[in-house]
Amino acid sequence: MAPFIKPLFAGMTLILSGAAASAATTEIKANIVDGSCQVSLDNASITFDQKDVTQFATGTAQILPLGVNLNCVEMQGKSPSLSVTGESSGLTDTRLFRAASSTAKYAGFMLKKGTLTSLNDFYNAADTVAPGDIVAIAQDQGSSVQPFSVGLVRSAGDPMLTQGNVNARITFAFIFP
């Protein structure tokens, strides 16, 4: 087959070389972007009910849900994630979120991936998200809600907690793969 193509190509060269010279220009453009995810929370502020120190007998006094809403574009087939940051001050268990301005001692907030409801099992359940952790996003395109659970807990390994206020700030930031 190669001998057939070679004479045809040579013939085309001869025909084109004898044609009048002309030119045409085309402009070619492309816009290349990284994917992105807009991050928002279903609750910008979570307030737990007032609890007595005796209600922490199992380690967890109350659990509330937290949905991290994502609206991702141009992420098909990629593996984005969330960076979770916050302060963990004055506690033996550094997986807990607690601001240094808190006045209750040895209490904080534990963040778990998923929806959990059992007070007895919460503290030791899997999927704890600690300050500084990176969390994989379950869906990579379109809108989704990543479910988390926040527990008001007594820090394991510390003395019995004391009365006062406890607060924390948790930041979820999108990380492009």
Give the DSSP per-residue string, 12-28: HHHHHHTSPP-------
Q: Which two tokens stand for residue 93?
A: 């268990």
As a residue count, the chain comes to: 177
Q: Flag whether pLDDT at 43 surpasses 80.
A: yes
Burial class (CB within 10 angstroms; exposed 0-12, middle 13-18, buried 19+) of 15:
exposed
Least confident of 18-22, 57-61, 142-146, 170-174: 18-22
Per-residue pLDDT at 14: 44
Q: Which two tokens stand for residue 107?
A: 């209490």
Q: Flag whether pLDDT at 7 surpasses 50.
A: no
Per-residue pLDDT at 17: 52
CA-CA distances (angstroms) from residue 5 to 1, 9, 10, 16, 19?
7, 6, 9, 17, 22
Cα–Cα distance, 59 to 79 (Å, whole number): 35
- Encode pLDDT of 148-167 as tens digits: 999 999 999 999 999 999 99
Chain-centre distance of CA 3, in angstroms?
A: 61
Q: Flag whether pLDDT at 1 surpasses 70.
A: no
What's the pLDDT band for 4 if we cut at 50, 70, 90?
very low
- For the ranges 28-32, 105-109, 138-142, the one whose mean pLDDT is highest: 105-109
- Encode pLDDT of 88-100 as tens digits: 999 999 999 999 9
Per-residue pLDDT at 135: 94
Per-residue pLDDT at 3: 42
Cα–Cα distance, 140 to 73 (Å, whole number): 8
- Minimal CA–CA distance to 120: which of 66, 64, 47, 61? 61
Q: pTM to 2 decimals?
A: 0.79
Least confident of 73-82, 86-95, 117-126: 73-82
More confident of the two residues 12 and 166: 166
What's the pLDDT band for 37 if we cut at 50, 70, 90?
confident
In 10 A of CB 137, how many CB atoms?
21
Query: Is 123 in contact with 151 (CB distance < 8 Å)?
Result: yes
Cα angle 133, 136, 142; round to 5: 135
